[in-house]
Structure 1
Amino acid sequence: MVDDHEENLRIIAGVLGPHGYDLMPALNATQVFERMASRVPDLILLDVVLPDMNGIEICRRLKQNEKWNEIPVIFLSAADDKSLVVEALESGGVDYISKPFNQAELISRVRTHLLLKQTRDDLALLAADKDELLRVMAHDFKNQLSGVLMSAKLLLERKESAALPERSLKLIRNMWESSDRMMGFLKSFLANQGARRQSLEVRPVDLEELISSCIAEVEPSALVKGTKIKRAKGEGVGKVLMDSNAGRQVIGNLIENAIKFCPMRSEVCISTSLGDSGMALIEVVDNGPGFTPEDRTRMFERYSRLSARPSGGEPSTGLGLFIVKSLVLAMGGRIRLADDEPGEKGARFLLEFKIAD
């Protein structure tokens, strides 16, 4: 409670004290900062007019300090000037109560903002717990899974495996396939989290070089399934505005998805051209199962499992297209599925990015 009149502090204490609140009074800005240095409150009731520094300036300074900027500040003032109310709220205040105040109103607003702060604190704790879990997943879980995968793979590849009973070999294959699917989900989940936190650097990027790099990365997967990746060069678009890492993730993900869902010995085509909107247009076309009308309504949602299933038993998390769209929008681009007939065989994704001057 901050007020330069002790009588006002006694009145506020008389209203809030019986409700079990632990109260700390201050008569001026100097006392505010001295006391907060040793004991941080959950909420501040702040008068606007004070002898050494007005309440609005105190609030601004509180919001500039990382230790104090989450504390809700409720202004109490006899001044009812609307411009002053606006200035107080813009300085970081969460509420403004005019004096003389109604006791029930003061109690209600204090209770409400303390509950809101408790909710924010709980959410911050959950976020910290999630970050710690992600750190463990990124390091410990991946290491353990990699060990299981490697062990199962070595067992399957050893010549001695031929002497093992078929039941044992089946169990080893199941172990390898289950671990592989889990690793795929883990990588996609971490990629999703990384995409949400990723700091993008949008700058001119050579589109031809980027696409060639993406094709080179997915070629091993294509060879396994006998899939041909066709690069259809259209009009040269030069450099486009995107983050190179995010752009590689977007285009690579679309090509990899096409390989994953197409039947064996299929063809995936990537072409570039100048779009009607004056932007660079990238098309990724496959001859897979396509999308149903229901698929089209939720294909970019998180953890959305669509009707098609990977043709080679590869893992699918339902995060790929969600990550792709999030990154495309963050780079100022656009993505859509071409308006072919729903359910028609094959899919044609269209990406648009601004051309660099």
Structure 2
Amino acid sequence: MIKSDSILIVDDEPDVFDVFEGILFREGYQLHYASNGFEVFKFLESSLPDLILLDVMMPDIDGVDICRKIKQIPAWQPIPIIMITALNSKETLAQCLEAGAEDFIGKPVSALEVRARVRSMLRLKKQHDELEKSQQKLEQLLQLREDMTYTIIHDLRNPIFVISLTCELLNLTNLTEKQSQKINQIATSGQQLNKLIDSLLLMAKLESGKELLNPKPVNLSLMVEAVVDEFEAQVIKKKIKINTIIPQVQRFVIADYDLIKRVLENLLDNGIKFSPSNSEILIEVEYPIDQNTVKVHFQDSGNGVKDELKQSIFKKYETGQRFEGVAQTGLGLAFCKMVIDAHHGCLSITDNQPKGSIFTIELKAK
């Protein structure tokens, strides 16, 4: 059964309701009446009409104020309001529109105009409702997809654990040098997969607000030194030199140690991946004199990032420019951005001169 459109008519004079009832009775609408602001709000608390016809001149609280209050309630905002006014000055009409009214009708009312404007507003309301339903359905489908994706990702932990354990057991047997190298390659790939799974699950928690930070005073100077040491073998293999400017700690940041350390690791790993052999990477920890912050700059000599990609590369699955032989999932920088945002900090990118990029982390200090 198709539901009839519901219209709330608000006027302090009951005779006005009779006029509108006479004009609209053939349209099949459900008509309701309220004589003042109190009755309007009481009605809206129990039932939401598809349209409100609201008189401007009211004894207790005028129609403009009623309209403004209605539009301040999120659940009531979608209800279109047509103001009925005998005051046809531009100032009055402007007040109605500023209060949130969608349309207005001047007194004395014209039956033809009333029916036309009512049909128009109800048509817009139907379009809004259909769009909202479509949006809700899309959000439900996206949520279902996310839930299924992360369930699968979580379940990948078991086979990766088995692979890693098997590699350890095989390394305890009599293997040739070549066999040992292959087993170590498999183990390294398993570790990389496990880190990727950890990042995906952590990103899901950050997005949903379920990941609780464990803030404590962090010495970024010491942390950067530790991260640089971790990548010693990797930079030697690729023949990259890492230069550092790391002053003694001047102020601490309040942050989740493990999360910030992973951000630093991701940014240095990125710099190494996209820098050519025999190039240099500069990492600088900065304690600005005039700011209560700490900054860490990662300056590489790669191909840089095009201006049109400088924002999109921080989104999930956005890889920017593709590079042959470099694994790109589009998750590393998205993870970094989420973590820094969760700390109310800033992650930005600028061009390095004459070539490359500079990624900068800025966190509030203690």
Give TM class, smaller chain.
Answer: 0.5 to 0.7
- 1:98 paired residue number: 105
The match for 2:348 among 312, 335, 341 is: 335
Distance in 2 (CA, whole Å) between partners of 1:212 and 1:43 is 63
2:289 and 2:15 map into 1 onto residues whose CA distance is: 72
SS of residue matched to 1:2? strand
Residues in 2 aligned to 1:199 and 1:155: alpha-carbon distance in whole angstroms: 34
* CA distance in 2: counterparts of 1:19 and 1:256, whole angstroms: 68
Q: Tell me the number of residue pairs that the alignment of Structure 1 and Structure 2 aligns.
A: 332
Cα distance in 2, alignment partners of residues 191 and 146 from structure 1:
17
Q: 1:349 aligns with which of 355, 358, 366?
A: 358
Give me the TM-score of the superposition, normalised by structure 2: 0.64
Residue in 2 that maps onto 1:232: 245
Measured against aligned partners, the alpha-carbon deviations of 1:204-253 in whole angstroms (never above 9, x if no partner) come to: x98x8235435646865x2563567543136987578xx84699376554
Which one-letter code corresponds to 1:110 in the other structure?
A: L
Match of 1:153 in 2: 164
Is residue 253–residue 324 contact of structure 1 (8 Å, CA) maintained in 2?
A: no
Q: Tell me the alpha carbon deviations over residues 175-208 of structure 1, each in whole angstroms, 9 at most, x when there is no partner.
A: 959965973783586388469x9999xxxx98x8
Identity of aligned residues (%): 20
2:311 maps to amino acid: F
Moved more, 301-310 or 268-277: 268-277
Aligned runs of 1:233-248 on 2, under 5 Å?
233=246, 238=251, 244=255, 248=260
Letter of the 1:254 counterpart: L
1:183 partner amino acid: I
Structure 2 residue 62 is the aligned partner of structure 1 residue 54: yes
The equivalent residue for 1:305 is 320
Alignment of structure 1 residues 58-97 onto 2, 5 Å: 58-65=66-73, 67-91=75-99, 93-97=100-104
In structure 2, C-alpha distance between the alignment counterparts of 1:251 and 1:356, rounded to whole Å? 17
Unaligned runs of at least 5 residues, structure 2: 1-7
The within-5 A match list for 1:101-250 is 102-103=113-114, 104-127=116-139, 130-131=142-143, 134=146, 140-159=151-170, 183=197, 186-187=200-201, 190=204, 193=207, 209-213=219-223, 216=226, 220=230, 222=231, 225-226=234-235, 230-233=243-246, 238=251, 244=255, 248=260
3-state SS of 1:284 partner: strand
RMSD of aligned C-alpha atoms? 5.2
Q: For 1:178 and 1:352, how far apart are their aligned partners in 2?
A: 24
Q: Output the TM-score relative to the length of structure 1.
A: 0.65
Give 3-state SS (helix, strand or coil) of 2:162's partner. Answer: helix
One-letter code aligned to 1:73: I
Q: What is the one-letter code of the residue matched to 2:161?
A: M
Whether contact under 8 Å (2:221, 2:285) holds in the other structure is no
- Aligned counterparts of 1:52 and 1:225: Cα–Cα separation in 2: 76
Distance 1:19 1:189 in 2: 53
Partner-residue secondary structure (3-state), 2:46:
coil
**Paired residue secondary structure (1:50):** coil
Higher RCO (CA 8 Å, separation ≥ 6 residues): 1
